[in-house]
Structure 1
Amino acid sequence: MASTAGYIVSTSCKHIIDDQHWLSSAYTQFAVPYFIYDIYAMFLCHWHKHQVKGHGGDDGVARAPGSTWAIARGYLHKEFLMVLHHAAMVLVCFPLSVVWRQGKGDFFLGCMLMAEVSTPFVCLGKILIQYKQQHTLLHKVNGALMLLSFLCCRVLLFPYLYWAYGRHAGLPLLAVPLAIPAHVNLGAALLLAPQLYWFFLICRGACRLFWPRSRPPPACQAQD
Structure 2
Amino acid sequence: MGMLAICNAGSLIAATNLVISLHPEDKITVKRGAALTALGFVYFMTLFELLNSLALSTGAGARFRHKYRLSCGDVLDITNKLVSAVQAALSCVTGAIVCLWSCTRDFMRSSHYMSEAYAWFGAAYFFYDIWSMYMVHVQMNSNPEVSSSKRRLSKNGSAPLSSGDSTVQKKQGTTFLDYCKHEPVILMHHLFIGGFGFLVIVYLRGNLGDCTFGFVYLMELSTPFVSVRGILSRMRLKSSRLYIVNGILMLLTFFVCRVLSLPYVCLMYSRVLGLSYVDAIRSLPTGCKISICILLLPQLYWFYLMSAGALKMLFGTGKKSASFSGGDVAPSSLPCGGCGECARCAAQAGASQCGAAQCGAPQCSAVPPGKAHKRS
CA distance in 2, matches of 1:148, 1:155: 10
Alignment-derived partner of residue 220 in structure 1: none
Which of residues 90, 110, 129 in structure 2 aligns to 1:19?
110
My pick for the range that moved more, 45-54 or 11-20, is: 45-54
- Displacement over 4 Å in runs of 4+: 61-64
User: What is the 5 A alignment of 1:115-126?
Assistant: 115-126=219-230
Alignment-derived partner of residue 12 in structure 2: none
Q: Any idea what SS the aligned residue of 1:135 has?
A: coil
- Tell me the amino acid that sits aligned with residue 97 of structure 2: I
Q: Any idea what SS the aligned residue of 1:156 has?
A: helix
The TM-score, its normalising length taken from structure 2, stands at: 0.52
Alignment-derived partner of residue 40 in structure 1: 131
Deviation at 1:193?
A: 2.3
CA distance in 2, matches of 1:40, 1:160: 35
Deviation at 1:52?
A: 4.2
Higher helix share: 1
> Structure 1 residues 96 and 62 mapped into 2: Cα distance closer, same or farther (>3 Å)?
closer
Percent identity reads 31
The TM-score, its normalising length taken from structure 1, stands at: 0.85
Alignment-derived partner of residue 73 in structure 1: 178
Gaps of 5+ in 1: 216-224
> Structure 1 residues 50 and 63 mapped into 2: Cα distance closer, same or farther (>3 Å)?
closer
Alignment-derived partner of residue 193 in structure 1: 297
CA distance in 2, matches of 1:208, 1:53: 35
> Structure 1 residues 39 and 192 mapped into 2: Cα distance closer, same or farther (>3 Å)?
same
Task: Check conservation: 1:46, 1:75, Cα contact below 8 A.
Answer: no
Which of residues 130, 142, 151 in structure 1 aligns to 2:234?
130
- Tell me the amino acid that sits aligned with residue 125 of structure 2: Y
Higher relative CO (Cα under 8 Å, sequence separation at least 6) belongs to 1
Mapped pair 1:2 → 2:107:
no
CA distance in 1, matches of 2:290, 2:139: 38
- Tell me the amino acid that sits aligned with residue 73 of structure 1: D
Alignment-derived partner of residue 222 in structure 1: none
Alignment-derived partner of residue 218 in structure 1: none
Deviation at 1:62?
A: 8.3
Q: Any idea what SS the aligned residue of 2:142 has?
A: helix
Gaps of 5+ in 2: 1-89, 146-165, 320-376
Mapped pair 1:112 → 2:220:
no
User: What is the 5 A alignment of 1:131-210?
Assistant: 131-210=235-314
Deviation at 1:58?
A: 5.3
> Structure 1 residues 68 and 142 mapped into 2: Cα distance closer, same or farther (>3 Å)?
closer
CA distance in 1, matches of 2:305, 2:141: 24
Task: Check conservation: 1:76, 1:83, Cα contact below 8 A.
Answer: no
Once the two structures are superposed, what CA deviation does each residue of 1:148-204 show, in whole Å capped at 9, x if it has no partner? 100110111111111010011111112122111111000111111222222122112
